[in-house]
Structure 1
Amino acid sequence: MQVKPFVVDIPASSIADLHLRLDITRWPEREPVGDWSQGTPLAALQDLAGYWRNGYDWYACQALLNGWGMFETEIDGLAIRFLHVRSAHESARPLLLTHGWPGSILEFRRCIAPLTDPLAHGGTADDAFHLVIPCLPGYGFSGKPTVTGWSVQKIASVWGELMARLGYDQWLAQGGDWGAAVTTAIAAMKVEGCIGVHLNMPIARPLPEDLAAPEPGELKALSALQHYQDWDSGYSKQQATRPQTVGYSLVDSPIGLAGWIYEKMWAWTDNDGAPEDALSRDDILDNVMLYWLTAAGASSARLYWESFGSFGPAQIDIPVAASIFPKEIIPAPRRWFERNCSQLVHWGELEKGGHFAAWEQPEAFVKELRTAFSLMR
């Protein structure tokens, strides 16, 4: 039941090992196309790797994490490590934020200050939150499950225990990607204490009548879903069926890991042709490092094996809000989603942003959360 501080302290030897592996990389030949259609281009990854080796500073990120304050506790035999950033406002409400793959707790890096200190960021005291941002099991600094069964429903239950241990008897929850699946499970299971949720990737599926007479927005969603199925879902099939096999290269090769993740930074962000149009190079590498330094390539992939087959809509009977960013990879039109919600209190449609909403568009994301959760008092 103990909750104690956790200090991120990566030794210099780990950085030296990374540099050596980068130095001795055996590169493949250049792809025979002039774009990203065969995956991460050689020139783009070599350029990123050059900066990773010679310009990037991990310890700036480490200082950031420790400055916010990380903690740890053990639940069901697994170490759960998380950011816990409390607001100075007495009226602040607890808010649980859950990341996805291939993201991390760093997705929320530019939302932490506005959510905990709203007066300094265009808000009011009523917009203040105490933030709990855990690393998913097998991700980042959390422990790696050694037995099966760590599904999104299991994680939802564990998150409820985590919030209870922190003394929060009523709290809100938010998530995208796997975070959306976990947050949906929290709502569907009516995990004790949760009084409302927000999703930036609401989960829904069309019915036969939708397919027979789709509306314009639904046609766009169906086209995006088909593109994902045909061209963008190979990673999920591999991780859902053989996570251990792909895990060897992801844990052993920093270039293999970076290529695996960097491509999703291109495919899933609202950019003009390059990932760096949406996310800074340091942000991208900070995120990659949370997988590399913790050797989480295989353990994070196993969540797909556990739960990807059950990644689907569920009935939500507590207040729920959704924010739709235009470059979301698996869009869900309102008509599809609200069938499973008895209390949909907010539906926001944004002008810019992709799958990593909080990371790409922190100001818009914070505004959406303030609006949504103001309707759940």
Structure 2
Amino acid sequence: MPDAASRVEPFSPQTAPAELDDLQSRLRATRWPDAPEDAGWSLGTDVGYLRELVAYWADGFDWPAQERALARLPRYRTRVGGLGVHFVHARAVAPTGPVLPLVLSHGWPDSFWRYSKVVPLLTDPGAHGGDPADAFDVVVPDLPGFGYSDRPVGAPLDTVAVAGLWARLMDVLGYPRFGAAGGDLGSHVSRCLALDHPGRVVAVHRMDAGLPVPGGDPAGLTPEERAWFADVAAWGASEGAYGAVHRTKPQSAAVGLTDSPAGLAAWIVEKLQAWSDNDGDLEQVFSRDEILTNLTIYWLTGTIASSMRIYHANAAIPAEQLARRVEVPSGFALFAGDVLRPPRAWLERTTNLVHLSEPARGGHFAPFEEPELYAEELRTFFRPYRAAAQGRR
């Protein structure tokens, strides 16, 4: 049942000038580290690039213009499970057939921003070269502790708990049945929605499989699966330091990241560079304004600490929960530039796999990097499940 007395209220924040003055002052006062000559991105953030980005953030970036652009999305807040949740709720435009409600879940380090380009492509496909019959009602919540949703004041919520909140949110919005999709942490949330609410989720689409613990004797895995787990271990050793910090001691790093916008940028921008399909040039896929919009949302909402703590919560999810098989019809898009792309055998082992595509371009942030490809992927996958989700709009 919907939360008692849930009210859905329009939301359009406007930043006070004093907050932007403080941000600019901090940026201009950055104390920079030294860096080995020609280190580039090999040791983490490219300090030379970051200095240029920070200079533009301080003296060239127009946040009020970006804030107005984001306000063109229909944004709301309501309370579910005792938490204030911010979300985009965009309804289908001129549909010619059954409308499928779709909840999209983001990951780290982003927010509803991840889907800001793709929302109009999904709600109004006819205006973007698609079939109007493929229109969705789109819901894009900020995870608790991310963006403009409330930060949990007690123990951080794991993705199982977040999935429960999203089920309640869809109740509040009048959607008894719906599709779910996501990537990164949002893939975990979508998976848990399908596991815990199979009577409501008609189908689930994910950009990655997550890493549930394999059951039984590893010798029973295929050679491709065993090779993939070896790749996962190697990636964790070379690239996983951020995750270890988030899982174990997030508050230690969060002090500096919350105090210094340049430090925040260093922590996040390196992941945008490493995980996107950019041929070594970050601004090939993200403009400076786009990068800084994501960073400024984190800075103004003060959510870097709370966004990191979800890793700590997820680390305590029991192994038997992680090993559950998803029986809801499942689809995957393994974009060419994404990290840790699992083999088909693993997807078949862990889900009711009915769809698998491998787009030739796009990375971990594909909805933002390649919104047209991502929108077409969702239209194609969910097309057979539209009639199953009819209910009150």
Do they fold alike, i.e. is TM over 0.5? Answer: yes
- Could you say which residue in structure 2 is the equivalent of 1:58? 63
Give matches, 1:344-355, under 5 Å: 344-355=353-364
- Could you say which residue in structure 2 is the equivalent of 1:4? 9
Deviations 1:129-156 (A, max 9, x none): 1111001000000000011151111110
Pairing 1:77–2:82 present: yes
Pairing 1:323–2:330 present: no
- The structural deviation recorded for 1:309 is 4.9
Structure 2: gaps spanning 5 or more residues: 1-5, 387-393
Pairing 1:260–2:267 present: yes
Pairing 1:122–2:129 present: yes
| In 2, Cα distance between equivalents of 1:26 and 1:5 | 40
Mean CA deviation greater in 83-92 or 38-47 = 83-92
Q: Partner letter of residue 31 of structure 1?
A: P
Partner residue of 2:202 out of 195, 199, 205: 195
8 Å CA contact 1:176, 1:200 repeated in 2: yes
- The structural deviation recorded for 1:196 is 1.1
| In 2, Cα distance between equivalents of 1:162 and 1:285 | 29
- Could you say which residue in structure 1 is the equivalent of 2:390? none
Mean CA deviation greater in 366-375 or 85-94 = 85-94
- Could you say which residue in structure 1 is the equivalent of 2:46? 41
| In 2, Cα distance between equivalents of 1:235 and 1:142 | 23
Structure 1 segments of 4+ aligned residues over 4 angstroms from their partners: 204-207
- The structural deviation recorded for 1:160 is 0.4
Pairing 1:106–2:113 present: yes
RMSD over aligned Cα atoms:
1.9
Give matches, 1:332-371, under 5 Å: 332-342=342-352, 344-371=353-380
Q: Partner letter of residue 89 of structure 2?
A: H
| In 2, Cα distance between equivalents of 1:276 and 1:79 | 34
| In 2, Cα distance between equivalents of 1:370 and 1:309 | 35
Deviations 1:82-140 (A, max 9, x none): 11111123532111011000022111122111101010112112210111100100000
- The structural deviation recorded for 1:190 is 1.9
With the length of structure 2 as denominator, give the TM-score of the two structures: 0.90
- Could you say which residue in structure 2 is the equivalent of 1:86? 91
| In 2, Cα distance between equivalents of 1:303 and 1:180 | 14
Percent sequence identity is: 38
Give matches, 1:2-41, under 5 Å: 2-41=7-46
- The structural deviation recorded for 1:352 is 1.1
- Could you say which residue in structure 1 is the equivalent of 2:3? none
| In 1, Cα distance between equivalents of 2:133 and 2:226 | 36
- The structural deviation recorded for 1:251 is 0.9
Query: What SS does structure 1 have at the residue aligned with 2:103?
Result: strand
Q: Partner letter of residue 232 of structure 2?
A: L
8 Å CA contact 1:225, 1:329 repeated in 2: no
Pairing 1:284–2:302 present: no
Pairing 1:249–2:256 present: yes
Partner residue of 1:181 out of 182, 188, 191: 188
Residue 111 to residue 210, structure 1, CA distance change in 2 (3 Å): farther
| In 1, Cα distance between equivalents of 2:250 and 2:382 | 37
8 Å CA contact 2:207, 2:334 repeated in 1: yes
8 Å CA contact 1:184, 1:314 repeated in 2: no
| In 2, Cα distance between equivalents of 1:59 and 1:328 | 32
8 Å CA contact 1:101, 1:178 repeated in 2: yes
Mean CA deviation greater in 191-200 or 201-210 = 201-210
Mean CA deviation greater in 27-36 or 78-87 = 27-36
8 Å CA contact 1:99, 1:136 repeated in 2: yes
Residue 227 to residue 55, structure 1, CA distance change in 2 (3 Å): farther
- The structural deviation recorded for 1:74 is 1.0
8 Å CA contact 2:40, 2:47 repeated in 1: no
With the length of structure 1 as denominator, give the TM-score of the two structures: 0.94
